[in-house]
Structure 1
Amino acid sequence: MDAVWKIAVGAAVGLLVVWLALIAALLLAGRRYERPGLGEMLRLLPDLLRLLKRLAGDKSLPGGVRVRLWLLLAYLAVPIDLIPDFIPVIGYADDAIIVALALRSVARRAGVQALGRHWPGSSAGLGAVLRAAGIRD
């Protein structure tokens, strides 16, 4: 049972680190644009998770998009990392970088229309995600 708690705490800390990295990236990307409000930033991670689930289930998207999403999920689920998570800060940095690169790749390959069709949040939140992915909305 102890291992289950370690995995759960590790997953929660990993999600928190990815969420904080995402907020920092959006704040940096939003310097030239209208920034999303605090409420939208707090909803960003749940909205992104719902977006990824919807994209993974969309049969009209190219197979490579769904494959990338499943590979990302497999990487996050496997306890072996490039840099072990018990190393402070950089242990979770590799996870955050891989998640950011995978999301950027999926967002660019799926396209603005697919992201807009499946985005559950506000239009300002979608705009921030598009800017963070390097897609001009």
Structure 2
Amino acid sequence: MRDWFIGLGIAMLCLAASWGLLLILARRLPPGILRDLAAFIPDCVTTVRRLRKDPRVPRRAKIAIVVAGVWVASPIDLIPEFIPVIGPLDDIVVVALALRYAGRQVPRDVLLAAWPGEPRLIERLLGDAR
């Protein structure tokens, strides 16, 4: 039993180290589409957290945003995460759909204020202002 716990600890340490390495490498990416994709999910998570707490966001939009956040955090995926390039694609699609729905329910300035990343990305996702 003790060996199992040691193995689990080593696995968790390797996982944390690989995440740290990926974060360092993502920050070193040159400006462009790869950097935007690497930052998309963390920016979406920050946006979800900010919108969930904002009183100006309607309940239906909050539910859609929380469902998208749970989807991203869930270990169950339509496309397994370990598949290169397309692994996180289902997460990106679900979050994009939820943010687009919220964009129709929430005032545009509230959504733009909650987005921590490059404003052109969220504006492109939301489409033209109505």
Summarize deviations over 1:73-98 as a string: whole Å, max 9, x none: 11111101011112222222112222
| Aligned-partner Cα distance in 1 for 2:17–2:75 | 12
Structure 1 distance, partners of 2:57, 2:103, is: 11
Counterpart code for 1:57: K
Q: d(CA) in 2 for partners of 1:88 and 1:47? A: 21
Matching of residues 1-137 of structure 1 within 5 Å: 1=9, 2-3=11-12, 5-6=14-15, 9=18, 24=33, 49-116=45-112, 118-119=113-114, 125-126=118-119, 128-136=121-129
How far apart are 1:130 and its partner, in Å? 2.0
- Give the TM-score normalised by structure 1: 0.57
- Displacement, 1:71? 0.8
In structure 1, list runs of 5 or more residues that go unmatched. Answer: 25-37
In the alignment of these two chains, the number of paired residues is 112
Change (3 A) 1:71 1:119: closer
How far did residue 103 of structure 1 move? 1.8
**Max radius of gyration: which structure?**
2
Contact 1:72/1:102 (<8 A) preserved: yes
CA RMSD of aligned residues (A): 3.9
**Structure 2 unpaired stretches of 5+:** 1-8
Greater relative contact order structure (CA < 8 Å, 6+ sep): 1
Instruction: Give the distance between the partners of 1:8 and 1:70, measured in 2 at CA.
Output: 28
